[in-house]
Amino acid sequence: MSLRDRVALITGGGRGIGRAIADRLAEVGCRIVIADVDQGGAEQAAAEVGVAHEVDALGVGANVADASSVKAMVGAAVEEFGALDILVNNAGITRDGLLLRMKEADWDQVLTVNLKGAFLSTQQAARPMSKGRWGRIVNIASIVGAMGNVGQANYVAAKAGLIGLTKTVAREYAARGITCNAVAPGFIDTAMTQALSDEIRAGLMAQIPMKRLGSPEDVAHAVAFLASEEAGYVTGQVLHTNGGMYM
Ligand code: NAP
């Protein structure tokens, strides 16, 4: 599989799953733009990815919840590399709480970063992709967007919404050679899940047929497939990457 010289932008790529996606796409030859709300983290990650895989890589500070920041993010990618071929909407946050006690601000913040962020980024990235008549958009959803989850009404609504957005973008852009798919990870070993108590982690493990949490690399391989030339006839799909936890 080769994506030599394709330009890939990964939001929230400074660490965790996004960083692993950046590494995997660089491994198959992409030029990389890592965008993260933490500008220093984005720049450092881009420098490391560039050296490790001998590709050009740019780090950009960007908040996907802010329309002007997203416009500047895509503008920086196009200015540096002259094109944008692959967008991975990975930036995401959680603000968990039971429905009855969930604060309105926590609802708004999670919907804004996880769902509106993907909308804004897709809207900007679709322009240069349309120009090139080729594009791959991969949205990082979640297993809970399909299953629901206690204590995550905001996050689940955002991830289920992201799946709806994926299918609509797939339909609107199919004729321009742009595919849009989602990867729905199960429980992956990152800072997001390291925050869970041992009891909750043990409870999760009991529900995973493969008896392990996923790794960021497990998700990155699924993303790289959907971003590949070979996946050109796959669009509007959700690729579940969860060790069999949800079928
Ligand atoms: P993570 O380790 O918390 O990384 C998320 C990254 O996104 C961080 O670098 C963070 O920056 C960045 N970010 C947060 N808000 C942002 C914003 N407004 N604009 C730009 N960047 C922003 O999380 P992760 O576990 O790798 O999760 C990555 C994606 O996978 C998320 O969409 C998450 O919902 C999804 N997912 C994760 C799991 C899991 O089990 N871990 C399962 C299913 C789906 P800072 O470091 O500065 O905060």
Three-state SS string over 100-162 comes to HHCCHHHHHHHHHHHHHHHHHHHHHHHHHHHHHCCEEEEEECCCHHHHCCCCEHHHHHHHHHH
C-alpha to C-alpha distance for 167 and 79, rounded to whole angstroms: 29
Residue 87: predicted pLDDT: 99
Q: Is 233 a catalytic residue?
A: no
Which of 15, 124, 215 for a ligand 1 pocket mutation test, highest count of atoms within 8 Å of Cβ?
A: 15
**Ligand 1 center to 224 CA (angstroms):** 18
Cβ of 193 less than 6 Å from ligand 1? yes
Nearest residue CA, atom 2 of ligand 1? Answer: 16
Buried b (16+ CB within 10 A) or exposed e, 189-222: bbeebeeeeeeeeeeeeeebeeeebbebebbbeb
pLDDT in tens, 186-223: 999 998 888 888 898 888 899 999 999 999 999 999 99
Residue 191: predicted pLDDT: 86
**Ligand 1 center to 116 CA (angstroms):** 15
The answer to pTM > 0.85 is yes
* Contact between 102 and 146 (Cβ < 8 Å): no
Cβ of 24 less than 6 Å from ligand 1? no
**Ligand 1 center to 16 CA (angstroms):** 7
Residue 183: predicted pLDDT: 99
Task: For the chain, list the domains and their CATH numbers.
Answer: 7-188+220-239 (3.40.50.720)
Select from 213, 96, 244, 205 the least CA-distant residue to 157.
96
Cβ of 218 less than 6 Å from ligand 1? no
Which amino acid belongs to residue 56? D
Residue 204: predicted pLDDT: 87
Cβ of 92 less than 6 Å from ligand 1? yes
Handedness of CA 99, 103, 104, 110 (dihedral sign): negative
Cβ of 214 less than 6 Å from ligand 1? no
Cβ of 65 less than 6 Å from ligand 1? yes
Please report the atom of ligand 1 found closest to the CA of residue 15: 9
Nearest residue CA, atom 3 of ligand 1? Answer: 192
Each residue's pLDDT expressed in tens, for the chain with a length of 247 residues = 789 999 999 999 999 999 999 999 999 999 999 999 999 999 999 999 999 999 999 999 999 999 999 999 999 999 999 999 999 999 999 999 999 999 999 999 999 999 999 999 999 999 999 999 999 999 999 999 999 999 999 999 999 999 999 999 999 999 999 999 999 999 999 988 888 888 988 888 999 999 999 999 999 999 999 999 999 999 999 999 999 999 9
